[in-house]
């Protein structure tokens, strides 16, 4: 995978899982009839004897995975984020998170992009639900390279992990040898006029916005938080201290996701102005992904414009 | 452990019932009714049927037990203590802060608890998973899942039933503690499970029924179920009485989640006295 390549993270996920199957002999995969969409098909083809089809029954799927984990397996449970994190929320809570079962969860089709499926399928609040669950560790990779790294990190780490993968193609921004570390954010672009803190597929857009702004003489720091739990508090506090204003950017509701998590850190450790870019407490609707992102002020130009407005207002106040 | 006679098993069950009452009475809380209804089933499993060793509670080849009706811990914990998984004096700490005996089973806190449960409807799925891994590792251990009848109103139970039936999951034995009473009313008044056996059969399970308080019948049914489980999942409908053994608790939903007060405890313990002791007194 080379910088700039457009690859769907779901495909990177599927291939990484099949690759991991060779390394982890106890890795088994559960699917609720969406393997062709979430791309666990790759694992199914490579290791049919370790692939479990639950049918469209997410609650039972999560429970079976927890039972297998209790007897020594490392199950990766995969279905659409919207159903995994909410329809099976209680099963994840009681059978996975509470006993620290070694179950990995792939919340596929995270956020808006679902192929125009609309409100019922666009997962706007899965991270909020997973974040509030004790023992849960959360990975929201930026690009296809980091998606592969996230699969490997999830498997290396004992206990429950929620990994969010994305359907639409996303440009590669990280080097092939990139490794993810829990609780460690990444500074992707230097600057101290303002700090843009992003996660998941919004990171490439945010980085592109910072590059546009750089040409205008605006130095925006870009921080990518790929591990939302545990969170890299220090990198957020440092950004607040040095940049004075933080803009969070996420493919999720502004409630309870990255925006909420960063606000919690700032309020307790270093209060500073924050602007949240994300879904404004609404359900999504059918339509072209980019059209909806634009409508909600979430495309690259929107992000750049938001920064210009913030900095202009700041200047006027001064 | 040597094989116990039916008479000896009956005696164990009586001792467990007394321990249940001591435990909930001492704690001032706990699910007494459902614990008394499951006492004979647990006795048969832990003192006769299951291949387990309290000295090796994590042996990969052991049989597993899942208390899917996770609130009935007084019955479960007293059985585990009586079987030697932990010291009986721990029962006095039931439900207290810092206790190894939580309100609902915790696999990391209580020796002998194979998996954590508490939210109804989840145990059967866990049991299937344990068997899938047993199959993958060529370990023929059996998994026993004890379910409540009221619990069977949960949708997940039927997702699991469908899966295990369709896939013919082997060495999986579910038991319904069919006491016909749930938290606030009878099962029929709450949501009828009429023709429960037919429902399970329709999902591809072998169904056996027995009197869940007749030790001989219970042991024979469990033995038969273990044999039948070599071909696919088996459901035993064990007809029981909630609060069994204490006249004023039997069949009364009010004893679902309640502990006896001092007077009730004394009266209940009198009913569960050693029958031989009783005879000696009369002589």
CB A99 to CB B107 under 8 A?
A: yes
Residues contacting B127, CB < 8 A, separation 6+:
A67, B64, B66, B68, B143, B144, B145, B160, B172, B174
Which of B64, B132, B155 is closest, CB to CB, to A64? B132
| pLDDT cut 90: percent of chain A above it | 98
- pLDDT level of residue A313 (50, 70, 90 thresholds): very high
Which of A57, A59, A67 is closest, CB to CB, to B130? A67
On the question of pLDDT at B1 being above 80, the answer is no
CB A95 to CB B133 under 8 A?
A: no
How many domains does chain B divide into?
1
Q: Give the ipTM.
A: 0.96
**CATH assignment at residue B198:** 3.40.50.970
What distance in Å separates the CA atoms of residue B69 and residue B117, rounded to the nearest whole number? 8
Q: Looking at the structure, do residues A220 and A104 belong to the same domain, yes or no? A: no
Contacts of A67 in chain B (CB under 8 A): 115, 125-133
The answer as to whether A179 is a domain residue is no
User: Which pLDDT score is estimated for B280?
Assistant: 57
Q: Which domain holds residue B222?
A: 6-282
Site of tokens 């994300």: A278
**CATH assignment at residue A280:** 3.40.50.920
The answer as to whether A298 is a domain residue is yes
The answer as to whether B278 is a domain residue is yes
From A58, A125, A146, A250, the catalytic residue: A58
Is A58 designated active site? Answer: yes
The answer as to whether B96 is a domain residue is yes
Whether a cis peptide bond, with omega within 30° of 0, leads into A76 is no
CB A93 to CB B119 under 8 A?
A: yes
Contacts 24+ apart (CB under 8 A), B192-195: B193/B149, B193/B152, B193/B153
User: Which pLDDT score is estimated for A56?
Assistant: 98
The answer as to whether A203 is a domain residue is yes
Q: Looking at the structure, do residues A50 and A131 belong to the same domain, yes or no? A: yes
Contacts of A70 in chain B (CB under 8 A): 107, 114-115, 126, 129-130, 133
The answer as to whether A217 is a domain residue is yes
Q: What is the mean pLDDT of residues B84-104?
A: 97
Q: Looking at the structure, do residues A25 and A152 belong to the same domain, yes or no? A: yes
Interface test with B, best of A63, A69, A103 (most B CBs within 10 A): A63
pLDDT single digits (tens) A264-278: 999 999 999 999 999
pLDDT single digits (tens) A126-181: 999 999 999 999 999 999 999 999 999 999 999 999 999 999 999 999 999 999 99
pLDDT single digits (tens) A16-29: 999 999 999 999 99
User: Which pLDDT score is estimated for B278?
Assistant: 57
Q: Looking at the structure, do residues A34 and A161 belong to the same domain, yes or no? A: yes
**CATH assignment at residue A51:** 3.40.50.970
The whole-model pTM stands at 0.97
Q: How far is CA B256 from CA A87, B29, B185, B260, B262, in A?
A: 29, 11, 10, 11, 18
Of A144, A171, A198, which residue sits at a domain end?
Answer: A171
The answer as to whether A284 is a domain residue is yes
Contacts of A68 in chain B (CB under 8 A): 129-130, 132-133
Apex A105 CA angle, A102 and A108, nearest 5: 165
Contacts of A91 in chain B (CB under 8 A): 119, 122, 125, 156
The answer as to whether B1 is a domain residue is no
Q: Looking at the structure, do residues A150 and A234 belong to the same domain, yes or no? A: no
* Alpha carbon of A21: minimum distance to chain B alpha carbons (Å): 15
The four Cα atoms A7, A152, A84, A260 give a dihedral, to 10 degrees, of -80
Q: Report the sign of the C-alpha dihedral through residues B79, B83, B86, B91, in that order.
A: positive
Q: Looking at the structure, do residues A10 and A152 belong to the same domain, yes or no? A: yes
* Alpha carbon of A55: minimum distance to chain B alpha carbons (Å): 8
* Alpha carbon of B156: minimum distance to chain A alpha carbons (Å): 6
pLDDT single digits (tens) A63-105: 999 999 999 999 999 999 999 999 999 999 999 999 999 999 9
**B157: part of which helix (H) or strand (E)?**
helix B155-167
User: Which pLDDT score is estimated for A315?
Assistant: 87
The answer as to whether B139 is a domain residue is yes
Of A109, A137, A171, which residue sits at a domain end?
Answer: A171
CB A66 to CB B60 under 8 A?
A: no
- pLDDT level of residue B279 (50, 70, 90 thresholds): low
On the question of pLDDT at A37 being above 80, the answer is yes
Q: What is the mean pLDDT of residues B110-130?
A: 98
Mean pLDDT score across all residues of chain B: 96
The answer as to whether A177 is a domain residue is no
Q: Which domain holds residue A261?
A: 186-317
Q: Which backbone phi and psi does A298 adopt, to 5 degrees? A: -125, 15
User: Chain A residues contacting B, CB < 8 Å?
Assistant: 28, 49-50, 52, 54-55, 57, 59-73, 75, 90-91, 93-95, 98-100
The more confident residue out of B276 and B23 is B23
Which of A57, A65, A66 is closest, CB to CB, to B159? A57
Bridge-partner residues for A198, per DSSP? A224, A249
User: Which pLDDT score is estimated for B232?
Assistant: 98
Q: Looking at the structure, do residues A25 and A160 belong to the same domain, yes or no? A: yes
Q: Looking at the structure, do residues A164 and A234 belong to the same domain, yes or no? A: no
On the question of pLDDT at B264 being above 80, the answer is yes
Q: Looking at the structure, do residues A90 and A215 belong to the same domain, yes or no? A: no
What distance in Å separates the CA atoms of residue B280 and residue A316, rounded to the nearest whole number? 99
Site of tokens 């094989």: B3
User: Which pLDDT score is estimated for B275?
Assistant: 77
* Structure letter (DSSP) for residue B19: H
The more confident residue out of A317 and B263 is B263
User: Which pLDDT score is estimated for B282?
Assistant: 56
State the angle between helix axes of B32-44 and B6-27 in degrees (0 to 180), rounded to the nearest 10. 150
Contacts of A50 in chain B (CB under 8 A): 136
Interface test with B, best of A48, A71, A79, A92 (most B CBs within 10 A): A71
How many domains does chain A divide into?
2
User: Which pLDDT score is estimated for A177?
Assistant: 96
Chain A with chain B: Cβ pairs closer than 8 A = 106
Nearest to A187 by CA among A154, A226, A149, A155: A226
pLDDT single digits (tens) B103-119: 999 999 999 999 999 99
The answer as to whether B267 is a domain residue is yes
Of A171, A205, A239, which residue sits at a domain end?
Answer: A171
Find, in chain A, the residue whose alpha carbon is nearest to that of B106. A99
């Amino acid at each position: 995978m080379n910088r700039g390549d457009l690859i769907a993270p779901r495909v990177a996920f599927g291939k990484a899982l099949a690759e991991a199957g060779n390394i982890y002999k106890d890795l088994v995969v559960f699917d609720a009839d969406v393997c062709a969409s979430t791309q666990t098909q790759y694992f199914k083809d490579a290791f049919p004897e370790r692939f479990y089809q639950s049918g469209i029954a997410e609650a039972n799927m999560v429970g079976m995975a927890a039972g297998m984990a209790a007897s020594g397996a490392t199950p990766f449970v995969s279905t659409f984020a919207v159903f995994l994190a909410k329809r099976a929320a209680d099963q994840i809570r009681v059978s996975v998170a509470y006993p620290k079962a070694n179950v990995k969860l792939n919340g596929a089709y995270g956020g808006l992009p679902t192929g125009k499926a609309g409100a019922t399928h666009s997962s706007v609040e899965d991270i909020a639900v997973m974040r509030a669950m004790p023992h849960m560790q959360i990975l929201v990779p930026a690009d296809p390279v980091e998606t592969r790294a996230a699969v490997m990190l999830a498997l290396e780490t004992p206990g429950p992990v929620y990994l969010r993968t994305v359907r639409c193609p996303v440009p590669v921004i990280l080097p092939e040898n990139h490794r993810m570390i829990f609780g460690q954010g990444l500074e992707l672009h230097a600057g101290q006029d303002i700090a843009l803190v992003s996660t998941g597929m919004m990171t490439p857009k945010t980085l592109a916005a910072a590059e546009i702004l750089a040409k205008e003489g605006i130095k925006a720091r870009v921080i990518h938080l790929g591990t939302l739990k545990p969170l890299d508090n220090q990198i957020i506090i440092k950004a607040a201290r040095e940049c004075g204003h933080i803009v969070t950017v996420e493919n999720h509701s502004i409630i309870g996701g990255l925006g909420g998590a960063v606000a919690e850190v700032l309020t307790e450790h270093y209060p500073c102005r924050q602007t949240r870019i994300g879904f404004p407490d609404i359900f999504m609707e059918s339509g072209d992904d980019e059209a909806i992102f634009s409508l909600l002020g979430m495309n690259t130009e929107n992000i750049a414009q938001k920064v210009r407005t913030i900095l202009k207002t700041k200047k006027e106040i001064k | 452990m040597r094989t116990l006679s039916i008479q000896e098993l009956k005696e164990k069950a009586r001792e467990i019932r007394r321990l249940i009452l001591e435990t909930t009475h001492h704690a001032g809380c706990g699910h007494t009714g459902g614990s008394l209804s499951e006492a004979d089933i647990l006795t048969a499993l832990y003192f006769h049927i299951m291949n387990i060793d309290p000295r090796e509670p994590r042996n990969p080849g052991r049989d597993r037990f899942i208390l899917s009706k996770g609130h009935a811990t007084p019955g479960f914990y007293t059985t585990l203590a009586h079987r030697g998984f932990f010291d009986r004096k721990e029962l006095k700490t039931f439900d207290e802060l810092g206790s190894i005996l939580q309100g609902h089973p915790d696999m990391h806190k209580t020796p002998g608890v194979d998996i954590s449960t508490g939210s109804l409807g989840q145990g059967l799925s866990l049991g299937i998973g344990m068997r899938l891994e047993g199959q993958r590792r060529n370990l023929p251990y059996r998994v026993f899942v004890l379910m409540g009848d009221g619990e069977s109103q949960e949708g997940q139970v039927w997702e699991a039933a469908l899966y295990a039936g369709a896939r013919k999951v082997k060495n999986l034995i579910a038991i319904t503690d069919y006491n016909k009473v749930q938290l606030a009313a009878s099962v029929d008044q709450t949501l009828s499970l009429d023709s429960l056996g037919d429902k399970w059969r329709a999902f591809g399970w072998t169904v056996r029924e027995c009197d869940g308080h007749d030790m001989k019948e219970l042991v024979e049914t469990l033995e038969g179920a273990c044999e039948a489980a070599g071909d696919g999942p088996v459901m035993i409908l064990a007809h029981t009485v909630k609060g069994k053994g204490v006249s004023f608790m039997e069949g009364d939903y009010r004893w679902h989640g309640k502990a006896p007060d001092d007077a009730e405890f004394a009266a209940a313990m009198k009913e569960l006295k050693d029958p031989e002791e009783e005879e000696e007194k009369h002589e």
